[in-house]
Amino acid sequence: MNDLFILLLKYYVMKKLLLLLISLIIICETTTAQNDCNKWYIDLNYIYLEPLQDFRTGGFQRGHGLSLGGYYELTPNAQKATFHSGFRFNGIIGKNAKDRITLADPAGARAKTKVYNAIIDVQALGRIIFQPQEKFSPYLGVHGGLRVT
């Protein structure tokens, strides 16, 4: 029994060390690739969605998701303002609601209802970044796209 515990502990530690090693390799590769890809920007965000009022009564629940965006700098090395264009992909999944209801026609018939909470969103983006060489750079962003629920 003691040998089994030690074996499981070694497996757990080795798995964590392998994950750390892979993470360090990815960070190092990203750092060395920045000189070659200095016009590209990538962002990854967590999304939390809380339905309000009518949506909550309609069966929508809290949702969690991810957002992945990519930008390309069209005017590199600009001193006063630079323009970026790009895309963003959002995916949100919430809790599915299931219920049994009684139908009006035919009278007294029973049925099951299901509400699936999922949102897929694709956007085109544009940004004008003012004072891009400073530590604090305000920007103006515009986006438009398609959302499917």
Q: Which residue has the tokens 């949100």?
A: 92
- H or E segment to which residue 56 belongs: helix 54-57
What's the first-to-final CA gap in the chain, in angstroms? 52
- For 13-44, write each residue's pLDDT tens digit: 777 777 777 777 777 655 544 555 678 888 88
d(CA 75, CA 81): 8
User: What pLDDT does 85 receive?
Assistant: 92
How do 118-130 and 40-49 pair as beta strands?
A: unpaired
pLDDT band, very low/low/confident/very high, at 1 (cuts 50, 70, 90): low
Peptide bond into 106 cis (omega under 30): yes
